[in-house]
Every structure is written in C-alpha cells, then in structure tokens.
Structure 1
Amino acid sequence: MNKINRVNFNDTRRISLHNKLIMLLFIFQFLGISLAIIHNIKIQISSIYLAYAFIVVTAIINYTIPKFINGDSTYIYLVNLLYSISLINIIRLDYTLINKHIIWYFIGFFIFILVRYFIKFFNKFLQDKFILFFAITFLTFILTLVFGFSKYGAKNWIDVGGLFTLQLSEFAKISYIFMIAAYYNNYEEYTSHKFGKYYLAGASYVFAGLFFLQGELGTAMVFFALMLASMLIFEKRFIFIVLNIVLAFLGVYLASLVLSHIKVRIDIWLNPWEDFNGKGYQIIQSLYAIANGGFFGTGIGLGSPGLVPVIQTDFIMAAILEEMGLFMGFAIILIFILIFYKSMKVSLQFKSNYLSSLALSIGLLFSIQTIIMLAGILKLMPLTGITTPFVSYGGSSTTSSFILLAVLHYLTSKTGEEYEG
C-alpha cells in the first residue's frame, strides 16, 4: 500500500498536536511583531496591517497545506517560523523594508504552489537534462556579466526596470542542483564516455571561472561544497575529492591576489582591529552585538543592532543574537539541522540517484549557506556576502528558497513513508 507524507486528519491526537504548534507559532508571531512595532516609531500604518496579515496568512498556510497537498508539512511550519523571526527583526531594523519583506513572502509561497504542481508533472522530463541545466546555469552568469552591476565588490546584481534588483546567482543554485541530479541519474552512461567522469567537475570549474569574473566568492563556495558532497556520496573517488579541495584553496588564494575586495575580506578576518573604524567596523560591531546579547538577549527593541552595517541581509543573525540571545541562535541552528536531517532521510529512501541527489542537495544547500553565514559573523572564516535562507532580507533569495522548498516538499510525497510527526 502506497502511503504518503502528510498529517493524518483522522488521528485526533496528531491533529491536536498540529493545532497546538500552529497556536504556539501564532502567539510567538503576535508578541514578537507587536513588540517590534512598539519599538519602531517610524513604522507606517500600512506596514502594521501587512505585519498582522502575515500572521493570519501563515496560520492559514500551516493549516491548509498539510490538509490538501501531499508531503511532509513540517518543512512549511519550520520555514514559517524562520521567516517570522526574520520579520520581527526587519521591523526593528528598517521600516522601509517591512512591506517588501512581507510581499516577498507572499510571492514566495505563491511560487511555491506553482512549482509544487509544475514539478509533479515535469519531474520525469527534467531528470535527463544535464546539458539543459548546464546551459541555464551558464546563461545566468552571462546575463549577469553583460547586464549586471557591481555591489560590495561583486558584479552579481541586475536592475529590473528600476523596480527591483535581481541576483541571478540565487537561481543558478537551483539549476545547478538539478544539473548535479541529472548527472548522477545517468552516471553509468556518462562514465562510459572518455571524459565522462569529469563532466560534473568540468562544468563546476567553468562556473568557478565565471564566478571569478563576477568577483563572487560566497556562492562559488556553495557550488563547490555541493559538488564535493555529491562526489563523496555517489562516486567515492577520494583522491579526486582531495585534489579538488586543494585546488579550491589555491583558487581562493589566487582570487585574493587579483580581486581586491576578497583580499580585504581575508585581511579583516585575520585582524579587523587594524582598521576598526573602517574596513573592520562591520565585523567588530557584529561581535559586540553578539556579546551584548548573551544567552537570553537584550530583548526586542532594547539592543542596538542598527550599528552593524548591512545588517538586514549579511548580518541579520547578529541582530537576532543580540536581541533574542544565543538560545534563539541555537534554535535556528537546530531548525536547519532538522531540515537537513529530514532531507537526508528522504534522500536515503529513493533508489533513483536523481531523486536522492535532489533531496540531499537541497538540504545541503540550506545548511551550507547557514554555516557559512554563521562562521562569517563569528569571525571563524572570511565574510562572503551570501544570505541565510528564509532569514535574510532579499527577494531573489526568498524566491529561490521557496522554489527549492517546493521541490523538497514534492519529494517527500514520493518516498512512500507515512509521516509520523
């Protein structure tokens, strides 16, 4: 009998727990957003209406998605929790971004529904399209290089008619994940060719070269980590993997010699105090904010997260840690660990390398981005400028994350395992 991952609404115990979780999230949202609104004297009335509308919409989504769409709805709940934490901090940090942040959430979930049904009908068509996904990923780089503009040292933004900016590298992650999955779906066929074992590595190095031209280090690290993880799991060519790691460090070193902003980031990582009022100001203020928050945080509205430059995107975790404390930081880490664990569990249930690679790569992507961002704000590695999925402000990041969430949600409905909560 084929079972599906969904909340069983005939089980009164399970539906009671499901409703309690929705109610707890509702209370957290209401109290957090209300406190943030109280402490932002510049907030507009339209933003207040939208913020409370966000609470209502997430409650409806948490209830209706598991009832009407097959799949593990735990992902939906966890993402809504992450986005709620993000919104509370955006309300505190910048009143001009509140409406945009909420609207991007609405757009994201609308796209989630569209992709959820699209992938259902076109999944088999996509599983053999390695060249197609390589071409799509390659095209995102070319478009960015031709039409993009530089921001914070990297040329990875495109202005769309003056209405908003688009970061195509966020969508390149999607096509790259599908490219990896398509490669391993036909791995035996490709390896029968003369250089078939190097198709994935070769494509990845082409993208690495294009990242170099853009001056983008963070997303290149994500791509490389995904490639190495896939090789480790599906190929087990350990010497080749070690060689790629050595080449990666060599590439970072060469990039630091050619690209001035990458050298600056490495210098800041090594010693931010050398220029504490200039280049090192951001990371130093981030460390002060985290230390000021302690385990329990200063409380919403009682910290000074605005002292950290670009805190809405790159350093939003610093704001969360200051006003909500390290315990909230641990909670966010645990959420991403749970997302990765469940993605890995789903991956192990497929015999198809294509489906297995898709599920694992999506979980890995969310985890890798979070690890890189946390390591950056804690000065454990150089800053990269990438976003934390569902937490950092950014339309491109939010949209691409919801697309991948839709794919992951669809995959959970194909495992044949009953969701046990």
Structure 2
Amino acid sequence: MMSVDTPARPGDEASPEFRVETGVLATMRRIQRPSRLRNRELLLLLFAFVVNGAAMVLVQLGAIGEVQPGPLVAVAGLAVLVLVLHGGLRVWAPNADPVLLPVAVALNGIGIAEIYRIDIAEKLTGWGAASTRQIVWSAIAMVAAVLVVALLKNYRVLHRYTYVFGFIAVVMLLLPLIPGLGLNVNGARVWISIGGVLSFQPGEVAKIALAIFFAGYLVRTRESLSMVGKTFLGMRFPRLRDLGPILVIWLLSMAVIVFQRDLGTALLYFGMFVIMLYMATGRTSWVLIGMTLFVGGAVVASQTLSYVNGRFRNWLDAFNPDQYEAWGGSHQLVQGIFGLAHGGLVGTGLGQGQPAITPLAESDYIFASLGEELGLAGVMALLGLYLIIVARGLSIGFTAQDDFMKLLAVGLSFTIALQVFIMVGGVTRVIPLTGLTTPFLAAGGSSLVANWIIVALLLRLSDSVRKPGPMVGAAS
C-alpha cells in the first residue's frame, strides 16, 4: 500500500493522469451507451417496417391478387413519423428503452393491414374505410407521442399536479353524460361528438389521468393503507375507515356500468387501482377486498341491469340457438369463435380468410380476425409482443428511483395488460365480452392516441431510470 507521503506515479489510482483517464472513459461511456440504445432501436424499427410492409403486401395479394401502391405509400408516411419520434428520442430521451417503440409500431402496422383487409371485403374506400381513418389517427397519435417526449422534461411535474389529473379524469368520465354532447353507440354511452363531425372517447384519456392520480395519491397515503389493521388468516386487513379510497373507486366503476353501460371500462379502472394499491402497500388483502367488491357488484348488476344480464347470458349460453338468434345475442361471439377455429394452427393466410363475416371485425373482434388469418401461432406471437411491452414497463417500475415513478410505470403497464386480457378473454369466451379495444390493433382513434401516449410516458420514465448519475472519478 502506498504511504501518504509517497508521490503518486503515473498509472496509480491516486495519480492525476489516472483520474483524467477515468473521467474521459466515463464521459465516453455516457456518450456511447445512449447511442447504442438508439442504434438498437433503429435496427428493430427497420425490422418492424419490413413486417408491416410485408403484411400489407400479403393482404393485397391474398384479397385482390395485386399490389396497389396507395396503401403502401400511406404506411410509409407513418414510418417517416416513427423515424421523427426516434430522432426526438435521440435528442430528448437518449437513454429511453429501445424496445418499446418498435413493438408498438409492429402492432400498429399489423392492425392497419388487417383493418385494410376487412375494408377490401366490405368494399369500403376513402374516408368511409376504417383503414383510412386508422392511418390518420395513427399519425395523430404519433405526433401526440412526440409532443409528450419533447415537452415532459421531468416526470415529477406529474406528481405535483396529482389532484388536477384526478379532476381531469372525473370531467372526462362525465362528458358523455351531458345531453347533446354524449353519443350512444352500440348501447354504450362513452362517446362525445365534437362539432357533429369528430367523435371521441374521453374515457381513454381518463385512464391515463387516473393512473397519474392513483400514483400520486397512493404515494401520499400508502403508510396508513399498509401499516395499520388487524391480522386474520395470516393477512393484515385494513381498518374500516381506511376502506374509503377503494370504496370510492368501486362506486365510480359501478356508476360507469349503470350510466354509461360499459362493463369493460369499469373493470379496467377498478383493476388498475387495485393493482396499484397492492404495489403501494404489498398487502394481498387489498386484492381480495377488491376482487370481492367487483365480482359482487358485477353479479348484482347482472341481475338488475338488462345490459349486463345480456352479456352474461351470451357468455354462459353462447351456442344456444335461441340466444344466438336473439337481438343483441351471441351471434357475434359465436362467429368470432368460428373464425378462430377456422384459422387453426397457422391460419388461412393474410387476405385469404373471411373475417368480415363477424360483426365489428375491425374493432371489437380484430383479435378474432387476426386469429383466422394468422392462426394460433400468429396470435401467440402478437400476445408475445404485448407481453414485451408489459414486461419492459414493469422493469421500469421495479428499477424506479422513487415511489411515484414505480407506481406510475406499473399502472400504465397494467393498463395495457388489462385491456388485452379483457378483450382477448371476451373474444375467446374466458370472461364476458365487453366493449374495450385491443391496444394498437383495433380500429379506434381515441384508443390509439391514448395508448401511444402511454408508450411515450413509459419511454420518458425509462430515460429517467437509465440516465447515468454524476461521473465518478472524473477530473475536476
């Protein structure tokens, strides 16, 4: 060991030369690592572009026997917007996760190709075609993602406005109930009309605002929700007076079922809150209480509300001829199941199935449409892509620097996971069918914008997690 009085030699850790060299290497690592992340993202994006372009070409060859340049040019335009977002990440969030964006792009492109295939079957063109609107909404959603990444410099700003986001969520949920503004679509009142031309689903924005509100609220109250209570059967249950938050959210969810006739959105909101509550407290009792409340509420609603009762009858007795032929019966559900069965293991091939036979094949039943043409192997690959998004989001949460980031990342990730479970579970008859959209795949502008904003928020959070701290050993 070198004594204090011994002069430092070149190469020794105490020497100025070593400190300068260490500082240079640290600086180079800080510069090169983000570059490697973005280069990896670019390579994955190029692969996603190839997959999306190939899907569009195969749809055209399978459905009409020729390749038309128009749809390919439109998809190429979206690719340019994606590259703009990629370039923005290099500048504003160089340490962001390199996988989230390519996976979202792949899902979005495959959804557009399948929607276009259904438009061909239904002979829809121009603005009347769902694929045209989907491409326009995809462009709007990507621009929104660019704005989130560019403007949200510090995610902690969201924590500062916790109750503002809670207020925004409540307003968004109430908008469809305003006479003259709300629209009744397929029995559910979850849409609003803007100028009599544009329709929008404010509940999609509400889910993001609620995730931010839940994260901020639970950070402030987690001590009282997790530390106090009585132990029963090895689990600590909360005091009655601490049940207030979960009861309020449960009542809000029940109100969505009763007044907006939307079982899926209610399940999404309540499930997101229960999961975030569990993450904040680590108490399994909250999950049991939440499940008991929602299942009990759903059972009561199925006995008292005709809308919910019809959903349950379609689920439990789908193949009964009387139920199949009834107005609002199980015809759509059964057609979707037949479509999945027709696809088998490897599918009929893009453009070669008959997905348009199922009502709302481009929106509620996009998963069944893809299952028919891509088969079990194809839909398992799609579920794998969703699993990647959720896993990367959870990884961001588990490595978060503070509790707010942890809860927000987990809440946003489970929002995607719950949507996929609710829709895929409904189409495959695991649970009653509800009116949510399958993220990125299904036709629906509101859903696209909201889910791209979720991806942008996760990218911004991942940049904060991965951002290196002050250089250690750098020369002063």
- TM value normalised by structure 2: 0.80
Aligned mate of 2:54, from 31, 35, 40? 31
1:68 CA drift (Å) = 3.1
Q: Which of 318, 325, 330 matches 1:277?
A: 325
CA deviations over 1:317-341 (Å, ceiling 9, x no partner): 1111111111111111111111111
User: C-alpha distance in 2, partners of 1:188/1:298?
Assistant: 51
1:204 equivalent in alignment to 2:283: no
Match of 2:98 in 1: 73
2:189 counterpart SS class: strand
Which amino acid is the alignment partner of residue 133 of structure 2? Answer: K
Is the counterpart of residue 313 in structure 1 residue 340 in structure 2? no
Corresponding residue for 1:51? Answer: 75
> Greater Rg, structure 1 or structure 2?
2
The match for 1:86 is: 111
1:186 counterpart SS class? helix
Residues 283-322 of structure 1 show CA distances to partners (whole Å, capped at 9, x for unaligned) of 1111111111111110111100001101111110111111
- Once residues 149 and 106 of structure 1 are traced to their aligned partners in structure 2, the CA distance between those partners, rounded to angstroms, is 25
The answer to whether the 8 Å contact 2:250/2:293 transfers is no
Matched, 1:178 2:212: yes
- Where does residue 114 of structure 1 map in the other structure? 147
Give the gaps of 5 or more residues in structure 1: none
Q: Quick one: which amino acid aligns to residue 205 of structure 1?
A: W
Give, in whole Å, the separation in 1 of the partners of 2:242 and 2:338: 48
Q: Is the 8 A contact 2:191 2:202 kept in 1?
A: yes
Worse-superposed segment, 33-42 or 83-92: 33-42
- Whether the 8 Å CA contact 2:60–2:68 is kept in 1: the answer is no
User: Counterpart in 2 of 1:145?
Assistant: 177
Larger mean Cα displacement after TM superposition, 251-260 or 127-136: 127-136
CA contact (8 A) 1:75 1:339 kept: yes
Structure 1 395/336 Cα, relative in aligned 2: closer, same or farther at 3 Å?
Answer: same
In 2: Cα distance, 1:339 partner to 1:267 partner: 34
The code of the aligned residue for 1:9 comes to S
Which of 268, 271, 276 is the aligned partner of 1:230? 276
Show the counterpart of 2:35: 9
Once residues 349 and 460 of structure 2 are traced to their aligned partners in structure 1, the CA distance between those partners, rounded to angstroms, is 38
Deviation at 1:23, TM superposition (A): 3.7
- The one of 384, 390, 410 equivalent to 2:434 is 384
1:133 aligns with 165
The answer to whether 1:167 aligns with 2:167 is no
In structure 2, the CA distance between the partners of 1:136 and 1:190, relative to structure 1 (3 Å rule), is farther
Taking only the aligned residue pairs, the percentage that are identical comes to 24
Paired residues of 2:211 and 2:412 also in contact (CA < 8 A): yes
Contact kept in structure 2, 1:350 and 1:356, CA below 8 Å: yes
Letter in 2 for 1:389: P
Q: Deviations over 1:107-138 (max 9, x none)?
A: 111100111233225x3333143432222111
Offset of residue 247 of structure 1: 1.5
TM-score between the two structures when normalised by the length of structure 1: 0.89
Instruction: Find the aligned partners of 1:161 and 1:5 in 2 and give their Cα distance.
Output: 49
Counterparts of 2:223 and 2:36 in 1: how far apart (Å)?
46
- Deviation, structure 1 residue 5: 11
CA displacement at 1:172 relative to structure 2: 0.9
1:380 maps to amino acid: V
User: What CA RMSD, in Å, does the superposition of the two structures yield over aligned residues?
Assistant: 2.9
Match of residue 293, structure 1, among 338, 343, 368: 343
What is the SS of the residue equivalent to 1:157? strand
Rounded to whole Å, the distance in 1 between the matches of 2:137 and 2:464 is: 29
- Mapped contact 2:61–2:67 kept (Cα < 8 A): no
* Uncovered stretches (5+) of structure 2, i.e. residues with no partner: 1-25, 229-238, 469-476
Tell me how far apart the structure 1 counterparts of residues 147 and 200 of structure 2 sit (CA, whole Å).
20
- 2:169 partner letter: T
